[in-house]
Structure 1
Amino acid sequence: MTFTGGTVELHGHRGARGLRPENTLPGLAHALALGVHAIEFDVGLSADDVVVLHHDQVLSPLTTTDTGPALPGDPRFPYVGKALRELTLAQIRTVDAGTRRPGRDDDPFVLTQLPLPGTSLPTLAEACALLSAFPGVAPAVELKTDPGWPDAEVTRFTAAVAEVLAAFGLTARARLLAFDWRVLVEARRYAPEAGRVALVERATAVAGTRWLAGLDHKDPAGAALDIGATALSPEMAMATPELVERAQGLALPVAVWTLNEPAEMDRFVGYGVDAIVTDYPDRLRRVLAEHGLPVPEQYPDALPVG
């Protein structure tokens, strides 16, 4: 799916992380109800090769809580803190992903996110089943790998994601995102119709980096084009007017992340970026409207009844 021309796209981050539990079906549904052009969410691979939604490669103690073992006496329990790749879907299903753990001063979302206890981590197939009913919204699927992954595992993971998207007829609408740019190479092979978004931040754009698949960190836009990306997605601190101009000059749309304050959103609308990723889609809708820019359609039907 190409970026929408003539506007600034609104991308819900991890669904709508500031408002509902991240990377969950209620979070995705809330973003749909608010109205977004694209929904970004993160995926990993379980021990039994099921693609599941979660931000970290391990079950995060910030966003998940153990409830009990999948089977009595399970030696892997407790599961929180263990790698997704070491846990089966049945084990992952037991954790509660509906309540953020309070107590961290650097976590503002615990103050603004509505807790939904009892919410589980969904599979990519379940997320696709939801999104397939709303053709105006692009799934923006971030594959969570790192340079320590063997090439064969990157290939296996990317192929698994592509297979699920294809099963729901979502490939052409989808965008595959990655900091580990080997994923983009594999995405071109397994899901050539999908968009390929090159994520970059200061930690990955350094000399000798393996994140960018050996390409020049000094010119992230040029490197993204060389790797076959169809868009560049830099962190806010890197998204200077010069980088935006460079990427757009190469016909690469720019999606900047993660902007949560209206003043930041306003500034980057002024920079002419193509998309803004936010934890608060409601805030960005107001900013876009103030600039006279179109806002995406809202889908209240996405919310469960009752």
Structure 2
Amino acid sequence: MVEVHGHRGARGLRPENTLAGFEHALELGVDAVELDVGLSADGVVVLNHDQVLSSRNLADTAPAWPDDPSYPYVGRPVRELTVRQLRTLDAGGQRIPTFAETCALLAPAEVKLSVELKTDPTWTDEEIDLFTAAVADVLHTHALTARTSLLAFDWRVLTEARDHYPSLGRVALCEPKTLTDGTDWLAGRSPADPVAAAVAIDATAISPKHVITTQALVEDAHTAALPVIVWTVNTPEDMTRFIGYDVDAIVTDYPDRLQDVLAAV
């Protein structure tokens, strides 16, 4: 059976990457909760999709303290702001949670965690190592290591996890922009064959964007014993097509919609 992965919780139904969104995803009975993390200026792992705070999902309310020169915060990188500053932002009527708060919510539930670390090739190896370690530490504290996978477009995160946190799953994200010639996203691997590249870094699954997920790619991955997690799929027609491709999991903003499709197959 295809697994249902709630994208950023249940992004089409509740504010993304929020505790309320995760609670709703749990109510819907998802198999996995997908979420995004960044690292604050004071070294706390926090939730947010973009490295730079976006008005698409966030709004400023007030400065964290009077005359804060960093205010307004929207438009600034997450890692240039402290948790106190980030807490002031309105995320669809919610607040940006810490990863620790999120893990405390999800730990009692029988659900997998798919944790995407938001980095890019401009990050140094040392910054990658520090961030990955901070995420792994929170997971260990909440006894969630065994049911968590780390996701990354920047595959250095995955090689760092392989070398130092091997009990964590390692999901190789890919999309057209990361598979161009001369790419810096794939930890030195060639983009010519993404499945072979994922196997070469010992990924435990490959997660391609829906527009590049073909029947042939799924078959190649399964031949290499690599599960396929396709993202982000929101229409019943596309859901049905990827189920027919025999993907292992579908990431969707609408877990309820996917469950209806699966029930009808």
Work out the CA distance in 1 between the residues paired with 2:21 and 2:52. 20
Match of 1:140 in 2: 114
Match of 1:217 among 142, 167, 191: 191
For residues 225-254 of structure 1, give each alpha carbon's deviation from its aligned partner in whole angstroms, at most 9, with x where no partner exists: 111100000001111001000011101000
Match of 1:59 among 37, 47, 53: 53
For residues 92-135 of structure 1, give each alpha carbon's deviation from its aligned partner in whole angstroms, at most 9, with x where no partner exists: 0000001xxxxxxxxxxxxxxxxxx2x1000000110011010x
Match of 2:26 among 22, 26, 32: 32
Match of 2:83 in 1: 89
Match of 2:2 among 8, 16, 38: 8
Match of 1:127 in 2: 102
Match of 1:77 in 2: 71
The ranges of structure 1 where at least 4 consecutive aligned residues each deviate by more than 2 angstroms after the TM superposition are none
For residues 236-295 of structure 1, give each alpha carbon's deviation from its aligned partner in whole angstroms, at most 9, with x where no partner exists: 11110010000111010000000000000000000000000000000000011111xxxx
Equivalent residues in 2 for 1:174-193 (5 A)? 174-193=148-167
* 3-state secondary structure, aligned to 1:176: strand
Which stretch shifts more, 188-197 or 213-222? Answer: 188-197
Question: What amino acid does structure 2 have at the position aligned with 1:30?
Answer: H
Q: Deviation of residue 18 (structure 1)?
A: 0.2
Say whether 1:269 aligns with 2:243.
yes
Match of 1:304 in 2: none
Q: Deviation of residue 191 (structure 1)?
A: 2.2
Work out the CA distance in 1 between the residues paired with 2:166 and 2:21. 28
Q: Deviation of residue 188 (structure 1)?
A: 1.5
Match of 1:157 in 2: 131
Question: What amino acid does structure 1 have at the position aligned with 2:257?
Answer: R
Match of 1:258 in 2: 232
Taking structure 1 as the reference length, the TM-score comes to 0.86
Q: Which has the higher contact order (CA 8 A, sep 6+)?
A: 1
Match of 1:108 in 2: none
CA contact (8 A) 1:140 1:175 kept: yes
Equivalent residues in 2 for 1:91-110 (5 A)? 91-98=85-92
Work out the CA distance in 2 between the residues paired with 1:214 and 1:256. 23
Question: What amino acid does structure 1 have at the position aligned with 2:105?
Answer: L
Work out the CA distance in 2 between the residues paired with 1:249 and 1:157. 33
Question: What amino acid does structure 1 have at the position aligned with 2:164?
Answer: Y
CA contact (8 A) 1:158 1:190 kept: no
Say whether 1:22 aligns with 2:16.
yes
Question: What amino acid does structure 2 have at the position aligned with 1:55?
Answer: H
Match of 1:296 in 2: none
Q: Unpaired segments of 5 or more residues in structure 2?
A: none
Identity %: 62
Q: Deviation of residue 189 (structure 1)?
A: 2.8
For the aligned residue pairs, the C-alpha RMSD in angstroms reads 0.6
Work out the CA distance in 2 between the residues paired with 1:189 and 1:208. 25
